[in-house]
Amino acid sequence: DKGGHRHFMAKEIAEQPSVLSDTLNAYLTDSGIALPDPGIDFAALDRLTITACGTAYLAGFTAKYWFEQIARLPVEVDVASEFRYREPPITPNTAALFISQSGETADTLAALRYCKGKASALYSVVNVPESSIARESDLALPIHAGVEIGVASTKAFTCQLTVLLLLALKAAEDRGHLPPAARDEILTHLRALPGVFNTALGRDEVIENVAQELAEARDILFLGRGLMYPLAHEGALKLKEISYIHAEAYASGELKHGPIALIDQHVPVVVLAPRDRLFDKTVSNMQEVMARGGRVVLITDAAGAESAGAEAWRVIQMPEVSDLLAPILYALPAQLLAYHTAVAKGTDVDQPRNLAKSVTVE
Ligand code: F6R
């Protein structure tokens, strides 16, 4: 049942305010963040490895920035198919975290089995609590996204991010890097996030118009810096898997080390840049693109649009959100841009060619 939507993907994108509330309600109590037993003692850890595939990997890649910035916990993040065959040494006091919507991805499961008896504990963030990955981990943290049918992961991604941010906050607390007042402030912002998503969903039409124009492109680049860098990868992945347009993501600062050679008037460049402490740096990369005739789609907030919007080809304006939460909110325009571009091209949005919802072969 598509609930009145044209595709499951559209329904699942629109469900995000409600499933994000469910996720938050599952982990937040009046006194703060509560994990199911046996919990996690982050103070005892020297390192965390995060392993996953595809979009789940990109949730983990985002979480690396959170764990390292807020909790001062070193994180190694890798795609499961590389991690498992590299035979990485697992040093003492290293916990291993696996992220999987289905909980059945063959490479992720094999990576988990590789870590058994080596890591100090095995944790998973899953959407299916009865799945193999959940059953074989010491602690499985469900994301409460509900059934996801569209092959392109959307609501599972933002729910994964939410659980991962809560884990990073818990880690920061355990490790003495997050005073209660700072924690409470972030939790207040998090509780407001479903409402902010609702506001952002109301701006769908702007994105649909931009997507009509992107549908003509053969190649599209995504740029981001800091927390927006992993998300640039998610935007490119989503776009290529359902619209079949070639898309690549780069760290904004890497542009001049090679990819800028690709820029001309035929290559739209999507720049993800809320007005945070890195904004000015990203704007100067954006100007490098424009100086070479590149057409920039700037996804930013009111302050960002005010300061740099006039230079961009198109601007998609998001509601204000605190810096830490921006990757969760900015996933939405990335999803909608991919969705509307695919619809404009007439591809099979829910069942893109060559792809399966759950990859249980290696
Ligand atoms: C992309 C997508 C895939 C999955 C990947 C991992 O939209 O859906 O990249 O994220 O196949 O699947 P899970 O999370 O089930 O392990």
Residues 6+ apart with CB under 8 A from 177: 70, 71, 72
The finding on whether 56 has its CB within 6 A of some atom of ligand 1 is: yes
Report the nearest-CA residue for atom 10 of ligand 1: 55
Residue 226 Cα to ligand 1 midpoint, Å, equals 23
The finding on whether 154 has its CB within 6 A of some atom of ligand 1 is: no
User: Which tokens go with 211?
Assistant: 């997507």
In angstroms, the CA 283 to CA 280 distance is 5
Q: What pLDDT is stored for residue 360 in this prediction?
A: 86
> pLDDT digit string (tens) for 240-284?
999 999 999 999 999 999 999 999 999 999 999 999 999 999 999
Residue 126 Cα to ligand 1 midpoint, Å, equals 11
Q: What pLDDT is stored for residue 188 in this prediction?
A: 97
CB count in 10 Å sphere of residue 20 = 25
User: Which tokens go with 326?
Assistant: 């921006």
Residue 106 burial (10 A CB sphere; 0-12, 13-18, 19+): middle
Q: Could you tell me the end-to-end alpha-carbon distance of the chain, in angstroms, rounded to an integer? A: 31
123-151 exposure pattern, b = at least 16 Cβ within 10 A, e = fewer: bbbbbbeebbbbebbebbbbbbbeebebb
The reply to whether omega before 38 is within 30° of 0 (cis) is yes
Q: What pLDDT is stored for residue 31 in this prediction?
A: 85
The finding on whether 101 has its CB within 6 A of some atom of ligand 1 is: yes
User: Which tokens go with 1?
Assistant: 């049942």
Residue 101 Cα to ligand 1 midpoint, Å, equals 7
In angstroms, the CA 310 to CA 208 distance is 20
Residue 151 Cα to ligand 1 midpoint, Å, equals 8
Q: What pLDDT is stored for residue 273 in this prediction?
A: 98
Q: What pLDDT is stored for residue 358 in this prediction?
A: 85
How large a percentage of the chain has pLDDT more than 70?
100
CA nearest 77: which of 90, 98, 60? 60
In angstroms, the CA 146 to CA 127 distance is 7
Question: What are the DSSP calls for 34-93, one per residue?
Answer: -PPTT---GGG-SEEEEEE-HHHHHHHHHHHHHHHHHH---EEEEEHHHHHHH-----TT
> pLDDT digit string (tens) for 12-63?
999 999 999 999 999 999 889 999 999 999 999 999 999 999 999 999 999 9
Distance of CA 3 to the CA centre of its chain: 25
Q: What pLDDT is stored for residue 361 in this prediction?
A: 83
179 pLDDT more than 90: yes
Residue among 359, 360, 362 to mutate when testing ligand 1 (max atoms within 8 A of CB): 359
- φ, ψ for residue 212 (rounded to 5)? -55, -40
Please state the atom number of ligand 1 nearest to the C-alpha of residue 359. Answer: 11
Residue 119 Cα to ligand 1 midpoint, Å, equals 24
How would you classify the pairing of strands 32-33 and 28-29?
A: antiparallel
The finding on whether 51 has its CB within 6 A of some atom of ligand 1 is: no
Report the nearest-CA residue for atom 9 of ligand 1: 54
- φ, ψ for residue 168 (rounded to 5)? -65, -35
Q: What pLDDT is stored for residue 357 in this prediction?
A: 87
198-221 exposure pattern, b = at least 16 Cβ within 10 A, e = fewer: eebeebbeebbebbeebbebeebb
Instruction: Give the mean model confidence (pLDDT) for residues 308-323.
Output: 96
In angstroms, the CA 262 to CA 55 distance is 25
Cα dihedral 77/81/86/91 (nearest 10): 40
In angstroms, the CA 70 to CA 85 distance is 31
Answer for the pair 101, 75: CB distance below 8 angstroms, yes or no: no
User: Which tokens go with 121?
Assistant: 């504990």
The finding on whether 153 has its CB within 6 A of some atom of ligand 1 is: yes
- Identify the sign of the CA torsion 222, 304, 330, 244: negative
In angstroms, the CA 137 to CA 125 distance is 10
The finding on whether 100 has its CB within 6 A of some atom of ligand 1 is: yes
pTM of the model: 0.98
Instruction: Give the mean model confidence (pLDDT) for residues 66-74.
Output: 98
Phi-psi region of 270 (alpha: psi -120 to 50; beta: other; left: phi over 0): beta
The finding on whether 55 has its CB within 6 A of some atom of ligand 1 is: yes
The finding on whether 335 has its CB within 6 A of some atom of ligand 1 is: no
Residue 66 Cα to ligand 1 midpoint, Å, equals 21
Three-state DSSP class for residue 159: helix
Residue 227 Cα to ligand 1 midpoint, Å, equals 20
